[in-house]
Amino acid sequence: MASDMRIAFDQRVPMRDGVTLSADIYFPPTGEQWPVILMRTPYVKANTAMLERAEAYVQRGYVFVGMDVRGRGDSEGEFTPYFNDGIDGYDAIEWLAAQPWSTGAVGTIGGSYPGRIQWLTALHSPPHLKAMIVGVTPSDPFVETPTGLASPMHLCWLHYVSGKVNQVMEAVDWGSVYWHLPLSTMDERAGRPNRHWREDIEHPLLDEYWERIRYQNKFDSINVPVLHISGWYDDEEIGTPLNFHGMSTRGTTPEIRAGQRLLMGPWGHAVNTTSKLGEIDFGPGSLIDMRSEEIRWFDRWLKNKPHATQEAPVRIFIMGENTWRDEQEWPLARTQWTHYYLHSGGNANSLFGDGTLSTHMPEGEEPVDEYRYDPARPVPFISEPTSSQIGGPDDYAAVERRDDVLVYVTEPLAEEVEVTGPVRLELYAESSAIDTDFTAKLVDVWPTGFRQRLCDGLIRARFRDGMERPSLIEPGKIYRYTIECWDTAQLFKKGHRIGLEVSSSAFPKYDRNLNTGAPLGKTSEYITAHQRIYHGAVHPSALVLPVVPKRNG
């Protein structure tokens, strides 16, 4: 620890309802007033990472505050994830701004849970909140898991933050827990009943229960410049580009809309910590001086140093090429939204099948591809069992050997193709069930046979018209589904193929659809669904890719 840094431990910060939250406050050695950086966390503030962050800011002339959220660590009250954090954040910021050692300018920082609660705080417009740095931010309910239920892996996180201190996630055999049915009692199977898990299952629709913790429908009421940070393999990646775009187009004033910056690297949920994920090494240039990025941002907005940052509003890492690039907006204005149509002779099952992708619009109707989805034998989503990082650039060659995975690939590319932006699949499908799921995954098929996952998504049939308006489907009827597959920035190299997987499960990232149409999360009975995927002139199923042409010069 820097010997000249002063620390005031366990300072009690009053909330409006009388509960006090615990803050450790780190002061520079000289001066009388400083701008303040606040990090509120459910992960217990007393750790070396918090100390190291505090030292960096103190050395640059900031007071740094680490605070336990309500009900966690040394703070009073009961922890209910997200539901109290907006008001508590407001009260914490205004208390800090009123202290004699504060200039009144407060910035907030944090990733994941500490990122999302910054948004919930900003909705209350604390007068002294001047800037935010939000990382790997969870989205609104059901944006990441559009099934009406949280991911089974979310229970692992709820276990981790049970009680006042962090629990040992590895103490539970999560790989077996995720198979438990019904989902409503999976917490008991894990050995720790959890009311938050059960309460959420009671609200499978986007209803008033969730409105207090939504923010992505309210950007037009947020008046804060934001540095948005995430990685292409962050398991909550979808939120960060959505937030940047939302604030850039809907923020309260022209200055706020211009005061947004997006930084996306080839990282997982723990951004900027390693250049290698799984078998993919993105090179030493993939790691940056993140602390300098943060300091420049706060210097600009909390110390009124407009010269402190002249960066482009968007800085992204292009995987495959493994280079950083500056852009002016997201999605990129020069994007060519390109339809890669699904084709086959009716046997696209597995990587040994005849499924193809091409930019040529089908001229006639083609044979239907069929498979059976059995909830007792779901398609695996490759991941470690805890929720610390869900998925990565994994090799799906083994998964694609299954007959319940349809595989469509282009011919080997004659030229490089850059795909940067949001990806979606427009799918025409029929099921024998009254409710079921359809999944899509974009992969880079290497000449070696390695099949690198890039991004993926899922749609639950009953929610095809939105999470507010569920309706079961008619067996044997063809429906058009739009599957949002999140974002990527990948240069497909010459000789590689663009690949697509279509199936009906990605377990345990998403809960298994039991195909019965029963109330979600409450039952154990399931049936097998017979699925039919259509493609052709009448039903032109297509993977829609954001192809980015090379800049002139």
Can 228 be counted among the known catalytic residues? no
Within 8 A by CB and 6+ apart from 116, the residues are 82, 134, 137, 138, 215
CA distance 355 to 120: 45
**CB-based contact 421:485 (threshold 8 Å):** no
Q: CATH for 7-149+204-327?
A: 3.40.50.1820
Question: 102-111 and 34-41 as β-strands: parallel, antiparallel, unpaired?
Answer: parallel
pLDDT tens profile 1-16: 555 899 999 999 999 9
Q: Strand order of the sheet with strand 314-318?
A: 6-14, 20-27, 63-68, 34-41, 102-111, 129-135, 226-231, 260-265, 314-318, 323-327
Report the Cα–Cα distance between both ends of the chain, in Å, rounded: 49
CA distance 76 to 89: 15
Burial class from Cβ neighbours inside 10 Å (0-12, 13-18, 19+) for residue 325 reads: middle
Can 128 be counted among the known catalytic residues? no
Among the options 112, 151, 503, 541, which is catalytic? 112
Among the options 159, 196, 245, 269, which is catalytic? 269
Looking at domain 336-547, which of 2.60.120.260, 3.90.1170.50, 2.40.160.10, 1.10.1740.10 is its CATH number? 2.60.120.260
Which 3 state secondary structure label does DSSP give 17?
A: coil
Can 496 be counted among the known catalytic residues? no
pLDDT tens profile 397-451: 999 999 999 999 999 999 999 999 999 999 999 999 999 999 999 999 999 999 9
Q: Which of 445, 461, 464 is nearest to 453 (CA)?
A: 445
Segments of the chain assigned to CATH 2.60.120.260: 336-547
Preceding omega of 540 cis (within 30 degrees of 0): no
pLDDT tens profile 212-269: 999 999 999 999 999 999 999 999 999 999 999 999 999 999 999 999 999 999 999 9
Q: What is the DSSP secondary-structure string of 432-478?
A: SSSS-EEEEEEEEE-TTS-EEEEEEEEEEGGGTT-TTS--PPPTT--
**CB-based contact 506:190 (threshold 8 Å):** no
CA distance 65 to 89: 12
**Which pLDDT band holds residue 30 (cuts at 50, 70, 90)?**
confident
CA distance 214 to 237: 17
Distance of CA 194 to the CA centre of its chain: 23
Mean pLDDT (whole number) for 271-296: 96
pLDDT tens profile 375-391: 999 999 999 999 999 99
Percent residues over pLDDT 90 in the chain = 97
Segments of the chain assigned to CATH 3.40.50.1820: 7-149+204-327
- For the record, the structure tokens of 527 come out as 């049936």
Q: Which of 530, 529, 515 is nearest to 181 (CA)?
A: 515
pLDDT surpasses 90 at 305: no
Mean pLDDT (whole number) for 314-331: 98
CA distance 258 to 274: 31
pLDDT surpasses 90 at 394: yes
Mean pLDDT, the chain, integer = 97
**CB-based contact 136:233 (threshold 8 Å):** no
Q: Which pLDDT value is given to residue 311? A: 84
pLDDT surpasses 60 at 46: yes
Among the options 74, 85, 234, 435, which is catalytic? 234
SS3 sequence of 60-124? CCCEEEEEECCCCCCCCCCCCCCCCHHHHHHHHHHHHHCCCCEEEEEEEEEECHHHHHHHHHHCC
